[in-house]
């Protein structure tokens, strides 16, 4: 069973969605389980490190997702190159924005496509909840948000189910406000 | 009310013509017949996309073959919200214990479905288990899988036709084509 025993507070909607995809296909995953130092100062202190988003223990594979703009992807690519130089035995795959979006299209997750791009995707759905779908109760044994903060997020999402939709609504309201005398 | 879709004009580019596909299927059939010479082979097709490939490939193989069909739920389908786990929608109709089995796929991209199927079928104790795919899209691979027979390695584009669909349409195209981005971007704008 791929369901994870611990809570995984995802930083981005794309990560939450990836966890659901991996769960669906029975692939075990760990969220940011390891941090790899990649730069040290002269005193030997770590000044830069890299924590791949997922580790898939059965496949011995790290996954890093990015929905960033090209300029920021270059920075991430540089870090990844450094990581590979320092840890040549590490098996890591970088999923770019276009690959993630193609994956979402393949799975018919149209509502997620816009919301997963850039900063609008930073508001991650708790695990066990699919954007654009009915809100599910967390399954026993799966990572999910718990406590008042998570409940507040669930309530907020119930009112506005998709990030993309929320953004559109806000934009329209902003325009309306701006047009007022 | 029927939604009008012009199948051919929705295709931006023909990636593989009908003739190219037919030639490749014959080539694969010859290789498979040679590799399994003197043995009996069970072809397992994964519905629905691999149906046309399966139908053509089995006729390009000239050793005794049995065929079987499987269907598994796909992420994002109606079953996703109910269980959150992949489900076998149609299982094998006959035992594959001690049989030589060849999984026939239309396309391999992430490898997630195939990885699941391999684990499932290995549990049924076949004598051997190999994989044949018409299309391989390695740019999207998440799970590394050793694919024994590959028809074409294709770029990371959204392809339809010869069994491959978008929204259950375009499967009946005789060629493999790249779907115009406007077709699926329209869906995201809805």
DSSP B96-117: -TT-EEEEEEEEESS-HHHHHH
Give the list of residues 6+ apart from residue A100 with CB closer than 8 angstroms, or none.
A14, A18, A65, A67, A116
Phi, psi for residue A17 in degrees, rounded to 5: -65, -40
Q: Give the pLDDT of residue B46.
A: 92
Mean pLDDT of chain B: 90
Find the length of chain B: 190
Q: What whole-number distance in Å separates Cα of residue A151 and Cα of residue A145?
A: 8
Q: Does B3 touch chain A (CB under 8 A)?
A: no
Q: Does B6 touch chain A (CB under 8 A)?
A: no
- Going by C-alpha positions, the residue among B76, B83, B49 that lies closest to residue B176 is B49
A21 contacts in chain B (CB < 8 Å):
75, 112
Task: Show the DSSP H helices in chain B as ranges.
Answer: 18-35, 51-60, 78-83, 112-122, 181-189
A133 contacts in chain B (CB < 8 Å):
80-81
Q: What whole-number distance in Å separates Cα of residue A171 and Cα of residue A21?
A: 30
Q: Does A44 touch chain B (CB under 8 A)?
A: no
Global pTM exceeds 0.95:
no
Predicted confidence (pLDDT) per residue in B31-87, tens digit: 999 999 999 999 999 999 999 999 999 999 999 999 999 999 888 765 444 456 788
Chain B residue with CA closest to A134: the answer is: B81
Predicted confidence (pLDDT) per residue in A63-93, tens digit: 998 877 666 688 888 889 999 999 999 999 8
Q: Does A17 touch chain B (CB under 8 A)?
A: no
Q: Look at residue A110 and give its three-state secondary structure.
A: helix
Q: What whole-number distance in Å separates Cα of residue A86 and Cα of residue A36?
A: 9
Question: Are B75 and A25 within 8 A, CB to CB?
Answer: yes
The CB density around residue B93, as the number of other CB atoms within 10 Å, is: 10
Give residue limits of the domains in chain A.
13-129+139-179
Residues of B acting as catalytic residues: 109
CB B128 within 8 A of CB B135: no
Rounded to a whole number of angstroms, the distance between the first and last alpha carbons of chain A is 59
CA atoms within 13 A on the CB side of A111: 14
- State percent of chain B over pLDDT 70: 91
Chain B nearest C-alpha distance from A19 (Å)? 11
Q: Does B89 touch chain A (CB under 8 A)?
A: no
Residue with tokens 């929204």: B167
A102 contacts in chain B (CB < 8 Å):
140, 156, 158
CB pairs under 8 A between A and B: 69
Q: What whole-number distance in Å separates Cα of residue B164 and Cα of residue B53?
A: 10
Give the list of residues 6+ apart from residue B8 with CB closer than 8 angstroms, or none.
B173
- Going by C-alpha positions, the residue among B98, B6, B92, B8 that lies closest to residue B44 is B92
Chain A residue with CA closest to B164: the answer is: A106
Q: Assess: ipTM above 0.85.
A: no
Question: Are B75 and A59 within 8 A, CB to CB?
Answer: no
Average pLDDT rounded to a whole number, residues B105-109: 94
Of the candidate ranges A123-137, A151-165, B70-84, B135-149, the one whose mean pLDDT is the lowest? A151-165
Question: Are B188 and A110 within 8 A, CB to CB?
Answer: yes
Predicted confidence (pLDDT) per residue in B81-102, tens digit: 445 678 899 999 999 999 999 9
Average pLDDT rounded to a whole number, residues B116-139: 95
Predicted confidence (pLDDT) per residue in A14-36, tens digit: 888 899 999 999 899 999 999 99
Question: Which residues of chain B from 60 to 79 reach within 8 Å of chain A, CB to CB?
Answer: 74-77
Give residue limits of the domains in chain B.
19-155
- CATH code, B19-155: 3.40.50.2020
Q: Does A133 touch chain B (CB under 8 A)?
A: yes
Angle between helices B18-35 and B51-60 (to 10 degrees): 50
Q: What whole-number distance in Å separates Cα of residue A18 and Cα of residue B75?
A: 11
Q: Give the pLDDT of residue A108.
A: 72
Question: Are B86 and A109 within 8 A, CB to CB?
Answer: no
Average pLDDT rounded to a whole number, residues A131-150: 32
Residue with tokens 């993309």: A164
Rounded to a whole number of angstroms, the distance between the first and last alpha carbons of chain B is 18
Q: Does A113 touch chain B (CB under 8 A)?
A: yes
């Amino acid at each position: 069973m791929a369901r994870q025993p611990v809570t995984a507070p995802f930083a981005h909607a794309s990560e939450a969605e990836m966890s659901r995809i991996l769960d669906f296909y029975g692939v075990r995953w760990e969220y940011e389980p390891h941090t790899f130092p990649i730069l040290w100062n002269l005193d030997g202190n770590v000044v830069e490190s890299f924590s791949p988003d997922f580790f898939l223990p059965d496949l011995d594979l790290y996954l890093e997702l990015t929905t960033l703009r090209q300029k920021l992807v270059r920075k991430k690519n540089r870090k990844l190159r450094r990581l590979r130089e320092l840890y040549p035995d590490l098996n890591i795959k970088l999923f770019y924005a276009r690959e993630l979006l193609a994956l979402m299209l393949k799975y018919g997750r149209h509502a997620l496509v816009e919301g997963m791009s850039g900063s609008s995707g930073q508001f991650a759905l708790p695990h066990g909840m699919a954007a654009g779908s009915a809100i599910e109760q967390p399954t026993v044994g799966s990572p999910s948000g718990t406590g008042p903060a998570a409940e507040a997020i669930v309530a907020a999402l119930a009112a506005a189910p998709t990030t993309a939709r929320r953004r559109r609504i806000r934009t329209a309201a902003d325009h309306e406000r701006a047009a007022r005398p | 009310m029927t939604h009008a879709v012009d199948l051919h004009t929705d295709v931006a580019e023909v990636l593989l013509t009908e003739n190219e596909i037919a030639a490749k299927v014959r080539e694969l059939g010859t290789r498979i017949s040679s590799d399994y010479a003197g043995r009996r082979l069970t072809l397992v097709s994964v519905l629905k996309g691999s149906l046309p490939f399966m139908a053509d490939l089995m006729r390009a193989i000239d050793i005794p073959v049995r065929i079987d069909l499987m269907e598994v739920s796909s992420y994002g389908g109606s079953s996703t919200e109910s269980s959150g786990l992949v489900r076998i929608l149609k299982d094998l109709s006959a035992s594959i214990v001690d049989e030589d089995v060849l999984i026939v796929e239309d396309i391999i991209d992430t490898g997630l479905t195939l990885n699941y199927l391999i684990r499932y079928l290995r549990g049924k104790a076949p004598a051997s288990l190999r994989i044949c795919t018409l299309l391989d899209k390695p740019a999207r691979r998440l799970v590394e899988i050793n694919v024994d027979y590959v028809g074409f390695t294709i770029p990371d584009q959204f392809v339809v036709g010869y069994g491959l669909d978008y929204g259950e349409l375009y499967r009946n195209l005789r060629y493999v084509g790249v779907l115009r981005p406007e077709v699926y971007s329209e869906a995201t704008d809805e």
